[in-house]
């Protein structure tokens, strides 16, 4: 498809998304896209061939309200004005990993607030080199490129956990809670995973850029989650209309607000309030050891405070695994 044709498709989709479930006349679409009625018809045919549920009637073209197609236009309509102006959104059906694609783009000069979105990852990455289940049709996965400076560099993952929690609050009828440091749970089941990766500038020794990846489990796959995560994985809550587009947008909105208005004390207070590990028995996992502890708190740097039975420690890295109450 020619570039001009692609631009027409994008314009038509933008108008249909803005008027979802409402018919838009071919004449109006033609005026907004600056093309002929025939070009609009071809653009609609292109959208239908891609899977968009666009219906045609005497009143015009209508994008079905229950469409679950993810697109730049579908995400953008839910963004705040500030986030919409800043973000460059790139949507893919399937990638190896949104973090991998984002790092390649950032290394090539992609600006801050470039967002890579996919509905499937064939090589999704988790912490400690583990894989992250990212099956098609079950979730939404996206990575934000940032170029942080100063104190905020230590809080990128914390902010992502808060942003994901705020998005769930706003969209789904569920109560999210954070497991230190990078997982979000609903009903004691993990529904969001976060992985932040940074690239260092060799000259300044500071961070050249960071990619902040977030994956949401929106629905359970047919047959259930894979055996290795069946006992821990869950979903964000019930199905909602246009859930994937809204989830990406609301997370971006929250991250943009927290990042640009960074207030360490406010972030730590909210992170502490949303934590569900304080007072819980956990297993602290480090490179060569595992120890049982009680979580006693989270400090102002969002580090985990634990007690091994009289011996106290403050953790700024590592992993904790929940034990039975």
Residues of the chain with pLDDT under 50: none
pLDDT value, residue 324: 66
pLDDT value, residue 177: 97
Q: Please state the pTM of the whole predicted model.
A: 0.91
pLDDT value, residue 73: 96
pLDDT value, residue 137: 80
- Asked whether 136 and 121 are in contact (CB, 8 A), the reply is no
Domains of the chain: 3-63 (1.10.10.10), 72-274 (3.30.930.10), 281-322 (2.30.30)
Q: Using CA atoms, how far apart are residues 2 and 296, in angstroms rounded to an integer?
A: 60
């Amino acid at each position: 498809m020619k570039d001009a044709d692609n631009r027409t498709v994008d314009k038509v989709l933008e108008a249909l998304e803005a008027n979802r479930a409402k018919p838009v006349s071919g004449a109006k679409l033609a005026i907004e896209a600056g093309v002929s009625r025939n070009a609009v018809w071809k653009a609609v045919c292109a959208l239908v061939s891609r899977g968009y549920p666009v219906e045609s009637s005497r009143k015009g073209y209508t994008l079905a309200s229950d469409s679950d197609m993810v697109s730049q236009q579908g995400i953008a309509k839910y963004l705040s004005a500030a986030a919409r102006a800043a973000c460059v959104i790139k949507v893919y059906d399937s990638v190896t990993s949104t973090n991998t694609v984002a790092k390649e783009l950032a290394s090539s000069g992609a600006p801050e607030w470039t967002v890579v979105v996919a509905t499937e990852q064939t090589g999704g990455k988790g912490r400690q080199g583990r894989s992250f289940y990212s099956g098609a049709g079950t979730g939404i996965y996206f990575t934000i490129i940032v170029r942080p400076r100063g104190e905020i560099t230590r809080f990128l993952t914390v902010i992502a956990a808060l942003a994901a929690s705020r998005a769930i609050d706003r969209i789904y009828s569920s109560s999210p809670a954070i497991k230190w440091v990078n997982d979000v749970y609903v009903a004691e089941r993990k529904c969001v995973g976060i992985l932040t990766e940074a690239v260092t500038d060799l000259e300044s020794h500071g961070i050249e850029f960071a990619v902040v990846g977030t994956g949401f489990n929106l629905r359970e796959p047919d047959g259930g989650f894979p055996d290795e995560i069946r006992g821990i994985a869950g979903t964000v809550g019930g199905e909602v209309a246009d859930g994937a587009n809204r989830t990406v947008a609301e997370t971006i909105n929250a991250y943009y607000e927290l990042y640009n208005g960074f207030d360490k004390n406010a972030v730590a207070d909210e992170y502490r309030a949303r934590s569900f590990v304080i007072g819980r028995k956990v297993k602290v996992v480090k490179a060569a050891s595992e120890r049982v502890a009680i979580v006693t708190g989270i400090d102002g740097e969002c580090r985990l405070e634990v007690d091994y039975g009289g011996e106290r420690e403050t953790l700024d890295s590592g992993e904790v695994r929940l034990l039975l109450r």
